[in-house]
Structure 1
Amino acid sequence: MSELPSGWARTSLGEIATWGSGGTPSRSEPNFYGGSIPWIKSGELNARYVKSTEENITEAAVSGSSAKIFPAGSVAIAMYGATIGKTAILGVDAATNQACAVGAPIEGLTSSEFLYRLLQNEKDAFIEKGKGGAQPNISQAVIKAHEVSLPPLAEQTRIAQKLDELLAQVDTLKARIDGIPALLKRFRQSVLAAAVSGRLTEEWRHHLGIPNPTDGKLSDCIEAMIGGASPKTTDYSAAGMLALNKGDIKEYGRVEIKQNPKYVPFEFVEINSKKVILDRTVLVTLRDLSQKADFLGLIGRYRGEQPALITQGMYGLKVNPRVAIEDYLIAFSNSPQYRTQVKREKVGATQVHLRNGQFLDFAVPIFVIEEQTEIVRRVEQLFAFADQLEAKVASAKSRIDHLTQSILAKAFRGELVPQDPNDEPASVLLERIKAQRAAAPKAKRGRKASA
Structure 2
Amino acid sequence: MKFSNYCILDICNKITTGGTPKSTNKEFYENGNIPWLNTKEINFNRIYHTDAFITKKGYDNSSAKWIDENNIIIAMYGATAGKIAINKIPLTTNQACCNLSINHKIADYRYVYYALVNKYKYLSSLANGGAQQNLNTNIIKELEIELPKLPEQYKIGNLLSLFDDKIELNNKINKNLENQALSIYYNWKKELKGKLTVLQDVVDVRDGTHDSPKSQNNGYPLVTSKHLNEYGVDLSTPNKICKSDFDKINERSKVDTYDILMSMIGTVGLISFISQQEINFAIKNVALFKTSQNLNIVYYVLLFLKSSETKNYINTSLAGSTQQYISLSELRKMPILIPNDTELSKLNNFLKPLITLICKNTDENMSLIKLRDTLLPKLLSGEISL
Q: TM-score, normalised by structure 1?
A: 0.43
Q: TM-score, normalised by structure 2?
A: 0.49
Give the number of the structure whose alpha-carbon radius of gyration is greater.
1
Q: Which has the higher contact order (CA 8 A, sep 6+)?
A: 1
